[in-house]
Amino acid sequence: MIDKNKLHKIAQLSKLRIDRDEEDIYLEDLNRIISFINQLKDVDNKEVTDFNGVNHFYIKLRDDRSKQFQFTDLIHKKAPTFKNNYFVVSGGVKKKGTS
């Protein structure tokens, strides 16, 4: 059970400010949370198996391997401007007041 002294200690450690008119609200909420946690301790979960996800099948992932792209020359020919393996594009954003 949390009392006002413990509440203010928790607030101090958490760097929270709790006004006097909010104390009762926080006390009620925190004690309700602790009560619920104590109820969970009584739950018998010995027969419950671990939950590893919604899908219980193995998804085969592809191997990531780097390889040379085959169409580099074609891209160089089709690109309007290409410099040092990068596309050159005109500036899309201009400063205010410039044309």
Q: DSSP 3-state assignment of 83?
A: strand
Each residue's pLDDT tens digit, 77-93: 877 887 887 888 777 77
Measured distance CA(16)–CA(13) in Å, rounded: 8
How many Cβ atoms from other residues are within 10 Å of residue 7's Cβ?
19
Evaluate if pTM is beyond 0.75. Answer: no
Task: Answer yes or no: CATH 1.10.20 is held by domain 4-41.
Answer: yes
Each residue's pLDDT tens digit, 45-84: 888 887 766 666 667 788 888 887 778 778 878 778 878 8
Q: How far apart are the first and last CA of the chain?
A: 69
